Amino acid sequence: MNGLFQDVFPQELILEIFSHVSFTDLKSCLSLVNKKTKEYATDLFVLKRIIYREKAFNAEDWINFFKVEVLESELKQAFESFPAVIGNIFNSPCPIFPNKTFGQTHLIVWIPASISINNYGMLLKEKFPLSREGYEYIWNEVVRDFGKLQSNASRWLVMTRKAIPLSGDKTYFEQQAMVNELKNYSVVSLLEAIICISTTIFKHEVVLLDQWYLRCNEEILGHQVAINFWSPSGFYILPSPKLLKDPHVGIACTTRF
- Which three-class secondary structure state does DSSP give residue 220? strand
> What number of other Cβ atoms are within 10 A of residue 1's Cβ?
17
How far is Cα 64 from Cα 203, in angstroms, rounded to an integer?
10
Q: What is the pLDDT along the chain (257 residues), one digit of tens a residue?
A: 445 455 566 667 776 777 777 777 766 666 565 777 777 777 889 899 999 999 999 999 999 999 888 878 889 999 999 999 999 999 999 999 999 999 999 999 999 998 999 999 999 998 888 787 899 999 999 999 999 999 888 999 999 999 999 999 999 999 999 999 999 999 999 999 999 999 999 999 998 877 789 999 999 999 999 999 987 778 999 999 999 999 999 999 999 88
What are the structural domain ranges in the chain? 43-255
Cα 244 → chain centroid: 27
- For the chain, the C-alpha Rg in angstroms (whole number) is 20
- Residues 132-159: pLDDT tens digits? 789 999 999 999 999 999 988 899 999 9
Which parts of 96-207 are beta strand (E)? 106-111, 137-138, 155-160, 186-187
Residues in CB range of 54: below 8 A, 6 or more apart? 22, 23
Q: Dihedral sign for Cα 51, 151, 67, 200, please.
A: positive
Do the Cβ atoms of 236 and 136 come closer than 8 Å? yes
Number of residues assigned to the chain: 257
How far is Cα 43 from Cα 36, in angstroms, rounded to an integer?
11
State residue 10's pLDDT score. Answer: 67
Sheet holding 186-187, edge to edge: 106-111, 155-160, 253-255, 186-187
Name the DSSP letter for residue 122.
H
- Residues 162-206: pLDDT tens digits? 999 999 999 999 999 999 999 999 999 999 999 999 999 999 999
